[in-house]
Every structure is written in C-alpha cells, then in structure tokens.
Amino acid sequence: MWIGIDDTDSINGGCTTYLVAELIKELKEYGVVGYPRLVRLNPTLPWKTRGNGAVAIQFGRKDKVERESKFPIAFLDGNLIFGFAVGKCEEEKADESIIKKVSKIVERLAWFKDPKTNPGFVVFNKPLSNDFYWGAVRGVLSQKEAKKEIERRKGFYRGYKNERGLIGATAAVSWEGKDFTFELIAYRDPEFFGKSRGIDDESVKKLDRECPHTFDNWDWKNDHNRIKPNSKGPVYYGIRGEDPSELMRGKELVKSEPVHEWVIFKTNQATDDHLARKQIAGVKPYESAIIEGKVCKAPVTIKGGHVIFVLEDKTGVIDCAAYEPTKEFRSVVRELKVGDLIECYGSVRKERERLTLNLEKIKILKLVKVKAKTENPLCPRCKIHMHSVGKGGGYRCRRCRAKASQKEAVFKEIPRKINLGFYEVPVCARRHLAKPLKRMKYPTFFTSNF
C-alpha cells in the first residue's frame, strides 16, 4: 500500500517530511518498502507553501518484506529503522484503521491556521503510472484532476480546506523515480523547535570535501551553509547526495546539537525533472523550460542588480533574467554578446506583460567573434591617422581632407571571457529540482530496486 501526503507545512513552521517519521512510528506493524520519498513539484506555482515538496511511502506486510534484503532508512525513537527491497508487497491492503491513523497524524501536525496550507493525503493499494507526476512537476493540475486520478486508480483520499494537498500527495505516489538522489533529513528534539540552529560551519566544509557524491552542502564562494534551512520547524539540516551510505557518514561529520531523529528520502531533487525542451512561442507562465536561441539584445543590469538579456529563436523572443541572488552567475551572463548561441534552463514567470525566464543555468553552444577598434584608419597619402568626424560619421584626414568610412579603421579580435559549456547559479541560489553540474558528471549509479 502507498500513502502520499502534501501541503501540511507553513512559512511559520511544520514540515511535511516530518509526517513520514510519524507515520513510520505509528504503522510499526508494517515494513517500509524502499525509501520514503520526497517529491518536489512545479517550482513556479505562486501558491506553493515553501519548497513545494510532497511525501510518499510504501508499506508492506512485515513477514513478506523481511525476507528481502534490508538497508537503514531512518533513526526514530532511538531505533534504527530498515527499509526492504521492493517486491511482493502489493497484496497489503489499506483498511479503515490505517486511514484513521494517517488522518490523526495529519490533523495533529498540519498547520491548518495558515491560509496557504491546504493538506491532503491519499492511500493506494497499487502503484500509479507516472503520468500524474509529470503533470504536477511540469504543469498546473487542479484538485478535480487529482480526485479523478484517485478514483480511477481506486484510491482513498482525504482533503482539508481547499484540498490542494491532494495534487502533491497523488503526484508523490505517482513518481516513478527513474532519475533520483537522496536526502538525509535530520530532525531536532522538539524542545529546540523555533530556536536558531547551531551547526559548525567548518564541519559542513569538511563534509563537502570528504563526501564526493554529496552536493549543495556549502557555497564556497558565498560562504553559505546550505544544509541548514531558513525556516522554523523540526528540520535541523539536510544532506543531499547520490549514495545513502555516504549520507550517513556525512551526518557523523556534521558537528551540531544532538540529532534527535533522521530519515533518508529518495527524492527527485537535482534531476531537472521540471524542465522540458521548448521553443519560445510554446512557453507558458508557470512552466520551466530549456530553450535554445541566440542572444538578440545584450545583457543590461537593472535596478536591484538583476541582469536581463533577450533571447530569440525562430518562433519569438523572451527576456532571460539572472536575478541578484544568483550572485557571481551574473558576471557570466553579463559577458554574453548579441549573436551568441546558448541553451537557457529556467522557470517562466509572467512579470508585467512580458514572460521572463528565471535562469538556473546556461549552456553556451557558440560564441560570436567580438572585434574592437584599435586604431583609426591611416590616410593613404599622408600616412597619418585620420580623425573621427563624430558618431557614425566616419573619418577624415586633417591634412588633405580625405575621407574614410567607419569600416576602414583597424579592428582586432578581442578574446571572450567565457567559454563553451555549462554555467550554473551558485549553491546558495540553487532550486531543489535543478540538477547541479556536479551531477551531470556523475550519472545516477544507484539503479537497484530502492
């Protein structure tokens, strides 16, 4: 049986991932199949609570799953919890008592007071096809569509308030997980909730150096500790990476107040699943896209330090933006010249009447040659440099009055400061779903039946 939950947290506290920990404790008589899942959905939606992350977990009958191989997935209530390899678990059916237990947890831990928090949970006895997931990570789905999918798959659901959580809850179960990473989330003792998090920065740097398959731990250029969330609530820190056992080793390196509990999630973070290849004419607000095109208007820095340029393809033009929080990435974008051929990766927002692509990374495919005038033309008769007549007016010899055009000046190619290939925003500005370049070098190497 599968359980999916979404939209229980608030800017002011709570965390949907924590409900998974509670669920594992509450449903002790069942075995956890695979890893619990943390599934990030469309990052452009204006009504999302925080990271727009939903959770799902599969339970099987303990005596059946325990025959399979096991691996540590959590530490809860002082006990190490194991997950079991996927297989032979479908026969476990959810009943009234399970639904009651899930409702109780959601009703106890969700932040109902926040008007933007609209919880929902789903229970399925069979896995779902992944179509619903793709709709929820790349597009905009409605509660009605979620209910239709749940009914079609004979699932159970309970929505609260406007029931928006049903969309993410269903999508989290529907995620197939072809490309994936892991995140170990450490939780605080409840008595520390809401207090500032003491994490030794040096130990996070050590983690980053010594665990090569983790990512987004520390921003070396901006001195930013990325494993620590900004929000209040139960999450102490999260370590992201490719290898669950390395995450556990990483946890031992981080110096902090004692970690109360932890859970390892299999996630779609750092997979670029939100991005679809598109032409400019086909781009819509609240979508994310990869667009290949030429720079048709050079970058300008606007108020607030944001850098904007215009990209064109044969179907249209679109503004592309590297916002101030993307820090040093902006100096790369500022080096782009009209005519450069690039691939832009990012999310589409509608700002004023124009669509703007909020850049996550770019791939430079072709750089135009840039020439600069180094000398005014020589007068062929007098062998002296001519003088400029004024902007666009060409040149004239002061001695014999001979004229020359703009083009006759001496031009020299100037080296470009950027190269072909990828450039990405720094760790401190990274979106959950954005695939770091570090991951592009290491394709997913864990393909077993998690």
Residues 320-359 that bind Zn ion (CB under 5 A): none
C-beta of 104 vs 381, nearer to Zn ion: 381
Name the amino acid, one letter, at 301: T
CB of 158 closer than 8 Å to CB of 146:
no
Any idea what the Cα angle at residue 40 is, between residues 218 and 21, rounded to 5°?
85
Name the amino acid, one letter, at 19: L
C-beta of 321 vs 397, nearer to Zn ion: 397
C-beta of 224 vs 385, nearer to Zn ion: 385
Cβ neighbourhood burial of 13 (10 Å; 0-12, 13-18, 19+): middle
DSSP SS3 for 171: helix
Question: Least separation, in Å, of the C-beta of 382 and Zn ion?
Answer: 3
Distance CA 169, CA 38 (A): 10
- Phi and psi at 349, nearest 5°, equal -120, 155
Any idea what the Cα angle at residue 158 is, between residues 113 and 432, rounded to 5°?
65
Give me the 402-421 binding string for Zn ion, x by CB under 5 A, dash otherwise. Answer: x-------------------
C-beta of 270 vs 397, nearer to Zn ion: 397
C-beta of 113 vs 383, nearer to Zn ion: 383
C-beta of 94 vs 378, nearer to Zn ion: 378
Q: Which of 397, 404, 427, 429 binds Zn ion (CB under 5 A)?
A: 397
Strand partners, 156: 123
Distance CA 170, CA 2 (A): 10
Give me the 71-100 binding string for Zn ion, x by CB under 5 A, dash otherwise. Answer: ------------------------------
Question: Least separation, in Å, of the C-beta of 406 and Zn ion?
Answer: 18
C-beta of 19 vs 386, nearer to Zn ion: 386
CB of 98 closer than 8 Å to CB of 122:
no
Question: Least separation, in Å, of the C-beta of 383 and Zn ion?
Answer: 8
DSSP designation for 64: H
C-beta of 87 vs 394, nearer to Zn ion: 394
Task: Residue 218: count other Cβ atoms within 10 Å of its Cβ.
Answer: 21
Question: Least separation, in Å, of the C-beta of 277 and Zn ion?
Answer: 57
Question: Least separation, in Å, of the C-beta of 308 and Zn ion?
Answer: 45
Distance CA 329, CA 322 (A): 7
Question: Least separation, in Å, of the C-beta of 355 and Zn ion?
Answer: 54
Question: Least separation, in Å, of the C-beta of 393 and Zn ion?
Answer: 17
What is the secondary structure of 399-449 as a DSSP string? TT--EE-GGGSEEEEE--SS-SEEEE--GGG--SSSPPHHHHHS-----S-
C-beta of 57 vs 404, nearer to Zn ion: 404
Question: Least separation, in Å, of the C-beta of 396 and Zn ion?
Answer: 9
Q: Which of 198, 399, 419, 442 binds Zn ion (CB under 5 A)?
A: 399
CB of 216 closer than 8 Å to CB of 269:
no
Question: Least separation, in Å, of the C-beta of 374 and Zn ion?
Answer: 20
Residues 368-387 that bind Zn ion (CB under 5 A): 379, 381-382
Specify the stretch interacting with Zn ion by CB under 5 A; choose among 89-97, 294-302, 370-378, 394-402. Answer: 394-402
Distance CA 224, CA 201 (A): 9
- Does 400 bind Zn ion (CB under 5 A)? Our answer is yes
Query: How many residues of this chain bind Zn ion (CB under 5 A)?
Result: 7
Interface ranges with Zn ion (CB under 5 A): 379, 381-382, 397, 399-400, 402
